[in-house]
Amino acid sequence: MGVTPIVAVPRDLDAEQQRDIVRFEQAVTQYLAGEIGEDVFRVMRLNNGVYGQRQGGTNQMVRIKLPAGTITPEQMDMMGYLAENFSRGWGHITTRQNVQVHFVELTRVPELMRQLATVGLTSREACGDTVRNVMACHLAGACPHEHLDVTAWADATFRHFVRNPLGQRLPRKFKVNFSGCSTDCGQAMFNDVGVIATTRTLDNGDTEAGFRIYIAGGLGATPHPALALEDFTTREDLLPTIEAALRVFEQTGNRDNKLRARMKWVVDQLGIDEVRRRVIKIRHTLPASSSWPGGIPAEVTIAGDKPAGRSATVEATAVGQGVNVTLTPRDPYSRWVATSVIRGTANGTVSAVAYAALGDLTASQFSSLASIQRELAADVRLSNRQNVVFRGLTEEQLPVLYARLEAIDMARPGAELARDVVACPGADTCNIAVTQSRGLAKAIGDRLEEEGLAEVGGIRINISGCTNSCGQHHASDIGFFGAERRAHGKAAPGYQMLLGGYVGEESIHFGEKALRLPAKAAPEAAARVVRRFAEEREAGERFRTWMDRVGGASAVADTLKDLDFFPSPEEAPEFYADYDETGPFVADVGESECAV
């Protein structure tokens, strides 16, 4: 299927966005003419969501912000158009609900930005030391377990902070995330500010909906769990509290050492009690500020935040990490329904997940998804596991959706199954990646398919090409991060395997180091662990519980030690070349600009 050309609708761009584009276009011209230096232009480029690639030259990655992962048919069509006309025919869904297009020629970036503006999108502050894309659970507003629909709250947070002077030159990036209930599908527990909807009972017996806010979480080379700010934050106080946390970070973050500049290091330096005190104190005085965002935001007043509610007759589908999915149906459609459909909302609508392997979508797939969205009048969100979620469907529409997805190779049951491997872009394009994480992800997926293990439920595999955890390897049942190994006097691609990461129920366990492996041995290691878990788990048992029951990560690693072996280059030259590479492995790491 070809990609329908997009004709930009004549309309006035938002004045601020138009100024951004003109200013960036001028900066590109000045940079290429040598009138402004690399350091100055890098800040300008990153703050506009434009990230250099390891290929060098003027190859750029452009990251497009999709607050709460929301995307309209027009925006989906635009993704296909950009992939076809500005990139190499595909786009990538990130673990933070952005879409990235790669290999964009620098001089064409302003044109791309103007195209984005015609469908209400921006790349502004998708990179750099700014407030990044504001995330939310992909089921927000369609989940039978939620206390509030956090969609409009995420949108209001995005709108309040984009171009906000407070967030333009932060010590480091600042990430905000929303979940509608304690299951925490949005993964609030490892963000600078993580917001989880909750309720409390008032003295008169009424129930009030509000939020529990967690602060100073983060992954990276040194992961920190987010910590509770206070027991309950009212809806009126939510945005002032987030702004107060941002102000504390702006004032106290480390501006001399980027490696210790995140909010988690502020807590490490000052202590959580002092950080809490400062946030609450600043919130108290914010009404005197010109930027005070108090009260219920207009976005919430207009769109509402009423939860989806739970059906009295239909059992609610379990959601979140560790869901015990059992595939008993034989026919493909029933197998897809068993893993990919979420039921149980009060209004009777259902949601369904379209599986995007490695988060990649071709231009044609983007176009087809837009057509499906229009045909079914569906609400669509992108998930933090790099998939596409259709919501607001009727039961009668499910066979139609399945047929449409099957035609574009997106109907395999993937949600909550082992085959849904998540990976960062890795050394394909990233300056600081050590290894080809996407190549390993495909190799693991292929190995699980060969071994009949791809449809084991309730296990998540995540891969990063370096320690920075853009692939969120710390928070998955089985995690890998890339590292250089040395064997027989030669460099070779390798991985550190972690086991037992878990996010949910307002808690987080980071994966524990198991063992180091040659890259070419990692698929077998993953398959062995998945097979053992499938054979030994008790009914409904989560991976973390199983791992602890059998002796922990070290005990599981003991059964894999034979895989930590490098044959000589003469015996197995493939061990000394990375996935999708033909030449000898070289850990070619450039200067870090920003991470996902």
Structure confidence by residue, pLDDT tens digits, 453-503: 999 999 999 999 999 999 999 999 999 999 999 999 999 999 999 999 999
* 420-433 tens-digit pLDDT: 999 999 988 888 89
The sign of the CA dihedral 301, 303, 307, 313 is positive
What's residue 596's pLDDT? 43
Which amino acid, residue 452?
Answer: G
Q: What one-character DSSP code corresponds to residue 375? A: H
Strand partners, 513: 498
| Three-state secondary structure call for residue 361 | strand
Residues 6+ apart with CB under 8 A from 430: 53, 54, 424, 465, 466, 470
At residue 28 the predicted structure's pLDDT band, cuts being 50, 70 and 90, is very high
**Is it the case that residue 291 has pLDDT exceeding 90?**
no
At residue 93 the predicted structure's pLDDT band, cuts being 50, 70 and 90, is very high
What's residue 591's pLDDT? 66
Q: Are 504 and 543 in contact (CB under 8 A)?
A: no
At residue 7 the predicted structure's pLDDT band, cuts being 50, 70 and 90, is very low
What's residue 80's pLDDT? 98
Average pLDDT of the segment spanning 318-337: 87
Largest CA distance in the chain: 78
What's residue 328's pLDDT? 74
What's residue 9's pLDDT? 42
Domains defined along the chain, listed by start: 15-67+78-117 (3.90.480.20), 145-303 (3.30.413.10), 332-407 (3.90.480.10), 422-576 (3.30.413.10)
What's residue 252's pLDDT? 98
Calpha distance 199→208 (Å, rounded)? 5
**Is it the case that residue 15 has pLDDT exceeding 60?**
yes
Residues 6+ apart with CB under 8 A from 264: 192, 216, 217, 218, 222, 224
Calpha distance 525→561 (Å, rounded)? 9
Average pLDDT of the segment spanning 392-415: 97
**Is it the case that residue 162 has pLDDT exceeding 80?**
yes
**Is it the case that residue 168 has pLDDT exceeding 80?**
yes
What's residue 329's pLDDT? 72
At residue 5 the predicted structure's pLDDT band, cuts being 50, 70 and 90, is very low
Please state the pTM of the whole predicted model.
0.95
What's residue 136's pLDDT? 98
Average pLDDT of the segment spanning 97-107: 97
**Is it the case that residue 319 has pLDDT exceeding 90?**
yes
At residue 12 the predicted structure's pLDDT band, cuts being 50, 70 and 90, is low
At residue 6 the predicted structure's pLDDT band, cuts being 50, 70 and 90, is very low
At residue 10 the predicted structure's pLDDT band, cuts being 50, 70 and 90, is very low
DSSP H/E element including 297: none
Average pLDDT of the segment spanning 191-214: 97
What's residue 325's pLDDT? 78
Average confidence score pLDDT of the chain = 94
DSSP H/E element including 472: none
**Is it the case that residue 247 has pLDDT exceeding 80?**
yes
What's residue 416's pLDDT? 85
**Is it the case that residue 39 has pLDDT exceeding 80?**
yes
What's residue 246's pLDDT? 98
Q: Are 157 and 134 in contact (CB under 8 A)?
A: yes
Calpha distance 189→223 (Å, rounded)? 11
**Is it the case that residue 564 has pLDDT exceeding 50?**
yes
